Structure 1
Amino acid sequence: MRDQEAGWVGARIATANGTKDLGPFQVNSSWIPKLAKVTDRSHGQIRSWLEQDACFNVQAARWIFLSGLAASGDYLKAIGIYHSPTLWRQRRYARSVLAHLRRRFGEAVFPRQAMREASPSNVGKTVDPLKLIRR
């Protein structure tokens, strides 16, 4: 996912829906209220950490991904959930990340069968990532 996101420390990229993608893992600003609540920190502190602290950004991305994995029980679906609550965007993103994995680790580790399993007809239901963890 890092290869796909391609962000950097200090990144603040505007999105079409008015949110911002922040830091190395391009964590969407829509996560700030949830992250502020679970860490008992201010929205401003979370925004700053997501933008400027690579370690916090990576840990936030990990938390979002693992929340998707807990909700879906499926690695590939969790990759899509990390990206978007919209099913077609989840599918497209999962296929793209899988292509990055194949380039990085090779066909033997991520065979083409996995690519077929990521096809639009096979990657699961729409899951809203902001509703994954209740606290």
Structure 2
Amino acid sequence: MRGITKRLWTATVVGMLVPQLAWAKSGSAQDERVIAACIHRASLGRPWLEKTLWGLRDQEAGWIGAEVANTNGSHDLGPMQVNSWWVTRIAAQVDRPPAHVRHWLKFDACFNAQAARWVFLSALRTTGDYWKAVGIYHSPTTWRQRRYTASVIGHLQSRFGANIFGPVQTASGQE
């Protein structure tokens, strides 16, 4: 499995040799268009994953070039505010120096969105629980996960409506 992950990350990095760096003022309409395109690309055509990434994005509210210090000494990087704790792990996956990964997380919106996808999907694989994985994206601490997940749900409902992922089907196929 690690080999597949490494090849996917390497393909992602190679595909970004001409990265979509945005040097415009943070929060500009152009930056937001770039971030939206990157989220769409990172979702790999899976509507549920795209919605998830939007929920995380809306909660995190980062920007291209962001480096926000946390009280524990880590930093939240880029539009999806990927925690710097992940830099060495991602660097190992893409076989690139941590300094490069940190730079890409801050300034390359597509690399940042793909890293956010990887962090979320890693948590989902580990837990098998969608909402737990959303919480883990933010923190390893259970009470912080719960608070974060509740906030992400609010953002998802604001963006996509109360029925975020479509009608719930019963065993008989009815709503």
Tell me, in whole angstroms, the C-alpha distance in 1 between the residues paired with 2:159 and 2:102. 31
Distance 1:47 1:109, change over 3 A: closer
2:86 is aligned, of 31, 48, 63, to 31
Instruction: Map Cα deviations across residues 82-108 of structure 1 (whole Å, 9 max, x no partner).
Output: 111111111110010001111111123
Matches within 5 A, 1:1-135: 1-109=56-164
Tell me, in whole angstroms, the C-alpha distance in 2 between the residues paired with 1:11 and 1:109. 28
Q: Which amino acid is 2:59 matched to?
A: Q
Instruction: Map Cα deviations across residues 55-87 of structure 1 (whole Å, 9 max, x no partner).
Output: 000000000000011011111111001111111
Q: Which amino acid is 1:51 matched to?
A: K
TM-score, normalised to structure 1's length?
Answer: 0.79
Tell me, in whole angstroms, the C-alpha distance in 1 between the residues paired with 2:162 and 2:118. 28
Q: Which amino acid is 2:81 matched to?
A: Q
In the other structure, the counterpart of 1:115 is none
Cα displacement (A) at 1:19:
0.6
Tell me, in whole angstroms, the C-alpha distance in 2 between the residues paired with 1:96 and 1:22. 20
Tell me, in whole angstroms, the C-alpha distance in 2 between the residues paired with 1:83 and 1:27. 9
Tell me, in whole angstroms, the C-alpha distance in 2 between the residues paired with 1:74 and 1:64. 14
Q: Runs of 5+ in structure 2 lacking a partner?
A: 1-55, 167-175
Cα displacement (A) at 1:110:
6.6
What is the number of residues matched between the two proteins?
A: 111
SS of the residue corresponding to residue 49 of structure 1 reads helix
Q: Which amino acid is 2:76 matched to?
A: D
In the other structure, the counterpart of 2:36 is none
Q: Runs of 5+ in structure 1 lacking a partner?
A: 112-135
SS of the residue corresponding to residue 41 of structure 1 reads coil
Instruction: Map Cα deviations across residues 97-125 of structure 1 (whole Å, 9 max, x no partner).
Output: 001111111123379xxxxxxxxxxxxxx
Q: Which amino acid is 1:31 matched to?
A: W
